[in-house]
Amino acid sequence: MKTQGKRSPHIVVLDADPAILDYVHRILADRFSVGLFTEAAELNRSLRESPTPDLLLMDWHIAENETEENALGLLAKIRASKPSLPIIMLACSAELKEVVVATRMGAADVILKPFRKSDIDLAVQQCLKESGKPPADPDIQGIPLDENTSFVRSSKRMREIESQCALVARADIPVLILGESGTGKEVAAMLIHKMSARSQRCFLKVNCAAMPADLLESELFGYEQGAFTGAVKSKPGKFEICNNGTILLDEIGEMPSALQAKLLQVLQDGSFSRLGGRSSVKVDVRVIAATNIDIKAAIAQRTFREDLYYRLNGFTLRMPPLRERTEEIPILSQHFMCKAVAQYECDPLPISPALMQALTSHLWPGNLRELENTIKRYLVLGDEQAIIDELSPLQSTASFALSAEDFGGSASLKHLVRNLKGSAESAAIARSLEGTGWNRKAAANDLQISYKALLYKIKQYNLSPPQNRQVSMGQAAGFDQAQSA
């Protein structure tokens, strides 16, 4: 039987007044996924074409300008086509008499205008409870960003990240998001977009490391017919498609240098030309860039332009690794369990104290992505002990030898902990590389970190294959495939 996962309830609001919609949106958006409509026709279309929402808030005046039906007509129509959809009417006290008719026709509640946040909260909660869909724990739920993604935050550090995102969302300046692989850089970019004035426009992500320079250039900036063999007709690039929206340039540290110059120009005046094009195209796109490499080191090595760094760096957001916000692991685990339950349409599994202990002690080199994959694996395999065993070797920090230096009089606790974490991480990576015969792609899969993160860590910990063993052709092929993927 399909079990309803704890996805956020979807609430749609119909009101001709954008200020009211904005107010209701601000009240509900941190706990629910919210759809806003200013016209009955738009709402009707959405009800026909999309899954039925969990609740409808509808203004009494909405249908006044429409020729076919008044609010009662619309209510009757929706009740007939969606009998299980609870409806709350928004009305003025002068209309109360008429609105009573609406409740007789099945409206679940009436909220009188002008209303306060608490009026909406109470009515929504009551209605969802009666329809068997109590709002989920807001911490576990997070802020819904799209159908599959939410921003979960409960630690002080992540609440600060949320405030920084809100602040920078309003400023409309470029943002550079730094952080290890899997820390939620893309999620943070989505949050900034969602909280910005561009939220109703397009959000696009381009992975700058995923393709060769010329392909990436045509992807970003488009091309004119005949620009290269095979360019049979002109095509706009992501910057044009995303006009008035937000573009996320992922893995910006890997962007080829020729393109860095072109990007600099777009950041300076919003203009560029398509490949093979003579005229200049002007766009208004908010650029967010993300990377997990040490960008300052890349500048020092001259693989990344310093002037581009300063342009991108209108604001820098640093996503903390999961090991620095372990207090979030219980909530994130619950969140990922709900997400996986909804995805696989199965019953949730309990997270026992023993499993939670293993989850919270693990070092999570692959950060939230690794945690999410672990929870998914637990749900699919159903074998708690296997997961505990899998997590244990990495967290047995006691087994790592401590050098005399570690205990030296000047070593701070912070320094000691950092060294221990480093040794645990480097030992886990070395073990996995050994186990895969130094096939980096397989080791990255095994460790559940990105291929790039693995290369970075190999360099960071100065790991190298044993000298007496050659990496086989097959293993080398694994290496190359991953590099070009």
171: left (phi over 0), alpha (psi -120 to 50) or beta: alpha
Residue number with the shortest CB distance to ligand ATP? 184
Which of 110/175 has CB closer to Mg ion?
Answer: 175
Q: Collapsing DSSP states into helix, strand and coil, what is residue 328? A: helix
Work out whether 144 is an interface residue with ligand ATP (CB under 6 A). no
- The rounded distance, in Å, linking the Cα atoms of 106 and 174 is 49
> Contacting ligand ATP (CB under 6 A), which of 60, 151, 364, 451?
151
Nearest to 437 by CA among 473, 463, 467, 475: 475
Work out whether 180 is an interface residue with Mg ion (CB under 5 A). no
Which of 77/205 has CB closer to ligand ATP?
Answer: 205
Report the partner that residue 253 touches, choosing among ligand ATP, Mg ion, none (CB closer than 5 to 8 A by kind).
Answer: none
Q: Which stretch binds ligand ATP (CB under 6 A): 236-244, 256-264, 366-374, 465-473?
A: 366-374
Nearest to 455 by CA among 472, 443, 470, 473: 443
> For residue 344, what are the contacts with CB-CB under 8 A and spacing of at least 6?
379, 380
Site string for Mg ion, 236-265 (x = CB under 5 A): --------------x---------------
- The rounded distance, in Å, linking the Cα atoms of 152 and 188 is 10
> Contact at 8 Å (CB) between 153 and 328?
yes
Work out whether 365 is an interface residue with ligand ATP (CB under 6 A). no
Q: Which stretch binds Mg ion (CB under 5 A): 183-191, 216-224, 254-262, 306-314?
A: 183-191
Work out whether 372 is an interface residue with ligand ATP (CB under 6 A). yes
> Contacting ligand ATP (CB under 6 A), which of 5, 9, 142, 222?
142
Amino acid, res. 450: S
Residue 189 beta carbon to Mg ion: minimum distance, rounded to whole angstroms = 8
Report the partner that residue 179 touches, choosing among ligand ATP, Mg ion, none (CB closer than 5 to 8 A by kind).
Answer: ligand ATP
Measured in degrees and rounded to the nearest 5, phi and psi for residue 477 equal -65, -40
246: its two tokens: 């937000």
Residue 114: cis peptide before it, omega within 30 degrees of 0: yes
Work out whether 457 is an interface residue with ligand ATP (CB under 6 A). no
Residue 182 beta carbon to Mg ion: minimum distance, rounded to whole angstroms = 8
Work out whether 182 is an interface residue with ligand ATP (CB under 6 A). yes
Which of 180/425 has CB closer to Mg ion?
Answer: 180
Residue 339 beta carbon to Mg ion: minimum distance, rounded to whole angstroms = 17
Which of 11/249 has CB closer to ligand ATP?
Answer: 249
Residues 161-180 that bind ligand ATP (CB under 6 A): 179
Q: What is the DSSP string of 431-482?
A: HHHHHTTT-HHHHHHHHTS-HHHHHHHHHHTT----TT-PPPHHHHHHHHHH
> Contact at 8 Å (CB) between 295 and 309?
yes
- The rounded distance, in Å, linking the Cα atoms of 256 and 352 is 48
Work out whether 186 is an interface residue with Mg ion (CB under 5 A). yes
Residue 482 beta carbon to ligand ATP: minimum distance, rounded to whole angstroms = 13
The residues of the shown chain that bind ligand ATP, judged by CB under 6 A, are: 142, 149-153, 179, 181-187, 250, 292, 335, 368-369, 372, 450
